[in-house]
Amino acid sequence: MSVTEIVLIITELVGTVAFSVSGALTAIDRGLDAFGVLFIGCITATGGGILRDVLIGQTPPAIFLNLYVLGAAALTSMIVFVIAYCKRKTYHTVRDHIEAVNSIFDAVGLAAYGENAVLSVCIGMLTGVGGGILRDIMTDATPYVFRKHIYALASIAGSVIYYIGTRFGVGTAISTFTAMAAVVAIRLLAAHFRWSLPRITLDTDRRL
């Protein structure tokens, strides 16, 4: 196994842990039981990859062939549940600490596919945000990606960088690392400076 492959596996696991922590915290906030926390944590971590594989015709999805990813998501979700259960009296303080650390690793591990630019960018974005969208839909919330910190645009930027790099001969490894670095930088800057896309705030109390 090459150094590049090892690094990619590590980054995939980091992304898996980050997404499953996010999903588990959301499930706990919604008052779900242990199985609900486990399920939402796993679907947040793996949902984007499953949707990607279904769209490109890869069956069964890779997540069911590489069980270490699913195992990492399940283990992480249960660890978060146990910590929250043991620290339930100070949960909100603990949650803030976990969220602060987790934000550093968020949005790692984008992927692109094929020679079609539009397909590559869309699949890369879906891989990055699909799990979070499924998480929010299943917990009856407006998907985070549509309202906070230009999450989707970070994924799109990473996918574009990956596609351009591989298309013009830069190489898969360099393109992947550059794309990941760009996504992480955009996400951290957006979170720190509270960047958001413009939106319309309507006066819901006004009667027409």
Average pLDDT of 41-46?
90
Whether this model's pTM surpasses 0.85 = no
Over residues 128-142, the pLDDT tens digits come to: 778 888 888 898 888
Taking 70 as the threshold, does the pLDDT of residue 158 lie above it? yes
Angle between helices 172-193 and 91-105 (to 10 degrees): 140
Average pLDDT of 13-24?
85
Q: Can you spell out the DSSP letters for the chain?
A: --HHHHHHHHHHHHHHHHHHHHHHHHHHHTT--HHHHHHHHHHHHHHHHHHHHHHTT-SS-GGGT-HHHHHHHHHHHHHHHHHHHHTGGGHHHHHHHHHHHHHHHTT------SS-HHHHHHHHHHHHHHHHHHHHHHTT---GGGTSTTHHHHHHHHHHHHHHHHHTTS-HHHHHHHHHHHHHHHHHHHHHHT---------TT---
What's the Cα-to-Cα distance from 28 to each of 35, 36, 129, 160, rounded to whole Å? 11, 8, 20, 35
- The pLDDT, as a whole number, for residue 50 is 87
